Amino acid sequence: MPRKKSNKKDENKIKDPNNEISKTKKKSQKQAKLSNDEFNSFVNDISREIIDKFGLDLINLKPDDIKDLVEEIINSIVESRVTKPSEESLLKKFINSKDQFMKGIAGRLIERDEVNSRERLELIIAYAPEIAGRASPRLYKIAKQLNAIDLIDNLRQLWNRYGLSTPIRCPVCGFNSVMPDMSCIVCGSLLDEKDIKKEINLREQLSKLKNVYNDKLIREIIDSGYVVFDGEIKPPSLKEKDKISISLHLNKDEKDILLKLLSKA
Ligand SMILES: [Zn+2]
């Protein structure tokens, strides 16, 4: 496809003259189907219709805001057809693929940094959950400004499904988004071991470790002075390389909890 190789355009012109010929041919085929005037009037009419039919006026979008997306879609429909499409048949295609269109709108709002209302955020979550999940770090800040607590809950779920979710929950924003350096990739907080220990209830988990590990492994934790946490507490030797984890150093009290477990044996 010549379009995808846009950076090699000049090279292609010289090396592959057929490429240019086929391009011209394609263009004239398209012109035979719809005149420029027809094409533009279809784009204008359909953009207006869609704003109304899909309720996009409720999120403050105007026909001009969606024109380029409508244009792109009409173009691809026209290219895939042999005969000239009518405005009605084009509009029908838009209505039949509403979800897909709304997803495109959602993607654009994020791309252009135009998520500025609760309604727009709701649209993104409803129609483009994957995009919303991946864009959680940005959308979280917006939702927080809008005080949309319920939408933050939705974002947390989508982040877990589609984002870069980690085993460690951030006590500040509540997303599973703490990295091994103890920074949160959603809200940007810098945490310390104390925050994480509290968040995962380390002391209680340590006191139950005897149900999970034998004495040798518990002894290993005491001797090395730290545990690895990847959703579960582990002795350093059981650290899994491909899992995101955090090392938590044990203070005297925490070591004592483990020593007590061993003395009970
Ligand atoms: Zn956070």
Looking only at the bridges linking them, the beta strands covering 226-229 and 233-234 are: antiparallel
> Which range (59-73, 76-90, 94-108) has the least confidence?
76-90
239 C-alpha vs ligand 1 centroid, how far in Å? 24
Question: Which tokens hold the place of 187?
Answer: 């809200």
Residue 20 is which amino acid? E
Ligand 1 centre and the CA of 177: distance in Å?
A: 6
pTM for this model (two decimals) = 0.77
Give residue 173 CA to ligand 1 midpoint distance, Å: 4
Ion ligand 1: residue ranges with CB closer than 5 A: 170, 172-173, 184, 186-187, 189
Amino acid present at 208 = K
**198-229 pLDDT per residue, tens:** 999 999 999 999 999 999 999 999 999 999 99
**Rounded to the nearest 5°, which phi and psi values hold at 165?**
-60, 140
Q: Look at residue 253 in the predicted model and tell me its pLDDT.
A: 96
pLDDT band at 8 (very low <50, low <70, confident <90, very high): very low
Q: CA-CA-CA-CA torsion for 136, 142, 144, 150, nearest 10 degrees?
A: -60
d(CA 135, ligand 1 centre) in Å: 14
The pLDDT-based confidence of 81 (bands split at 50, 70, 90) is: confident
Q: Are 205 and 216 in contact (CB under 8 A)?
A: no
User: How far, in Å, is the centroid of ligand 1 from the Cα of 183?
Assistant: 8
Q: By CB neighbour count within 10 A (0-12 exposed, 13-18 middle, 19+ buried), where does 27 fall?
A: exposed
Q: How far is the CA of 5 from the centre of ligand 1 (A)?
A: 40
Average pLDDT for 123-127? 96
Residue pLDDT, tens place only, 30-68: 445 788 899 999 999 999 999 999 999 999 999 999 999
